[in-house]
Amino acid sequence: GTHGDFNFDLHAARRINYIGVTFRTRSLQEIRDIFSAVRADIWPAVEAGQLKLPIDKVYTFDNIGTAFDHMEANKHLGKIVVTL
Task: Dump pLDDT digits (tens) for 13-49.
Answer: 777 777 777 788 889 999 999 889 988 998 899 889 8
In a domain, 42, yes or no: yes
Total structural domains within the chain: 1
In a domain, 64, yes or no: yes
Q: What angle do CA 30, 35, 78 make, to 5 degrees?
A: 130
* Separation between Cα atoms, residue 63 and residue 51, nearest integer Å: 28
Q: Which residue would you say has higher pLDDT here, 47 or 10?
A: 47
In a domain, 16, yes or no: no
Beta bridge partners, 60, equal: 83
In a domain, 6, yes or no: no
In a domain, 4, yes or no: no
pTM score above 0.75? no
CA terminus-to-terminus distance, the chain: 22
Residues 84, 61: contact at Cβ < 8 Å?
yes
* Separation between Cα atoms, residue 84 and residue 70, nearest integer Å: 18
* Domain region containing 51: 25-83
